[in-house]
Structure 1
Amino acid sequence: MPEIPSTPSDGNVKVLLVPEIADTSAPTVAELTGEGVIDISCYLTGDGLNLTSDQAAITDERLCTTQVFEKPGRKTNTAEVTYIDNTNSAYETDSNEAAETLVEGSNHHIVTRRGVSYETEIESAQKVSVWPVQAGMQRDVPAEANSVTRTMQKLFVTGNVRQKVAVASAA
């Protein structure tokens, strides 16, 4: 079997907070690069993007067999982020967009793009995942030695999550 290459995740993930997306199954380049879009990739800690999906199983037991069969059931998507929080520091004015944007109760679309260098601009046909969310309360991460000031926040999923959808070029 030939060796199968892999793509490192370090430096190859972009995470955007997008205020509005008309069709989450086909977000446009304009929507993902327009006014109001906040790139929070560099605010997130290395383990600070926790977007998870799970699917329940529906058991399908039959009188005629000793096996229990399954069918796919409801899906559950959860989101939580941990990010650098520069509140009250010398960096608050120009480097605190994650904390200032993810105000409790605010609505956003978390858009992730993986497998492409972070520096690469969003282009049509790239695959992204779109998570419509409402920000929960901000929780301070306890201070610890050799660390930075961080905030954790649950993001409540408010609509259908679209995984690996192509970015559309049309506005």
Structure 2
Amino acid sequence: MTQPAAVPADGNLKVYYVATLADPENPTVTELNAGTSKDLSCYITSDGFQTTLDEQTITDNRLCSRATYERPGRWQKQMTLSYVHNPDSTANNVAYLTFPYLATGYIVARWGVPYENAWAASDLADVYPIQAGKPSKNPPAENTVLTVTQKMFITGESYDDAVVAA
């Protein structure tokens, strides 16, 4: 078997905050580039874009069987962001200022395309409707920068591999 090609993670993820989307399943290039949209990619730490999926199990036992079967049950997506914090500069503190407690909007993430490439029609992106939790300033440590960690509550249907429209 030939080894399949892999895509490096470094520099190949773009993460934006978008205030509103007319159709979250098909965000448009115009919406992603709107003046109210924020490019968070260079604020989020290299390990700071955390999405998880918790999928519950439905047990399906039958009287006639000694086996226990299962089926997929409810699921929950979760997101946490960790980003740099520069309290002395509004120009360099965009992520922190974008997410005051209870702020709403969308996180849109494009995977596997160089960060520098502009949004384009037919890009695939994950779209999460969010409400910001309380920001928590992380403890300072030697040889590090100041950071904040913040839970983003997923407030509705999210879309994996949504197609960006023109």
Aligning the two structures, in what range does the TM-score lie when normalised by the shorter sequence?
over 0.9
In structure 2, which of residues 139, 142, 146 is the aligned counterpart of residue 142 of structure 1?
139
Secondary structure at 2:95 match in 1:
helix
Deviation at 1:33, TM superposition (A): 1.2
Determine if the alignment matches structure 1 residue 119 to structure 2 residue 116.
Answer: yes
Determine if the alignment matches structure 1 residue 160 to structure 2 residue 152.
Answer: no
Determine if the alignment matches structure 1 residue 93 to structure 2 residue 90.
Answer: yes
* Distance (Å, rounded) in 2 between the aligned partners of 1:57 and 1:124: 37
Deviation at 1:54, TM superposition (A): 2.2
The two structures have a TM-score, normalised by structure 1, of 0.94
State the partner residue of 1:25.
25
Unaligned runs of 5+ in 2: none
* Distance (Å, rounded) in 1 between the aligned partners of 2:118 and 2:54: 30
Deviation at 1:137, TM superposition (A): 0.7
State the partner residue of 1:46.
46
- Matched pairs, number: 166
Sequence identity (%)? 37
State the partner residue of 1:102.
99
* Distance (Å, rounded) in 1 between the aligned partners of 2:159 and 2:153: 15
Structure 1 residue runs of 4 or more that deviate by more than 3 Å after TM superposition = none
State the partner residue of 2:129.
132
Unaligned runs of 5+ in 1: none
Deviation at 1:123, TM superposition (A): 0.6
Deviation track 1:115-158 (CA, whole Å, cap 9, x = no partner) reads: 00000011111110001000111101000000000011111111
For the aligned residue pairs, the C-alpha RMSD in angstroms reads 0.9
* Distance (Å, rounded) in 2 between the aligned partners of 1:26 and 1:137: 29
Secondary structure at 1:134 match in 2:
strand
The two structures have a TM-score, normalised by structure 2, of 0.97
Deviation at 1:93, TM superposition (A): 3.0
* Distance (Å, rounded) in 2 between the aligned partners of 1:80 and 1:37: 19
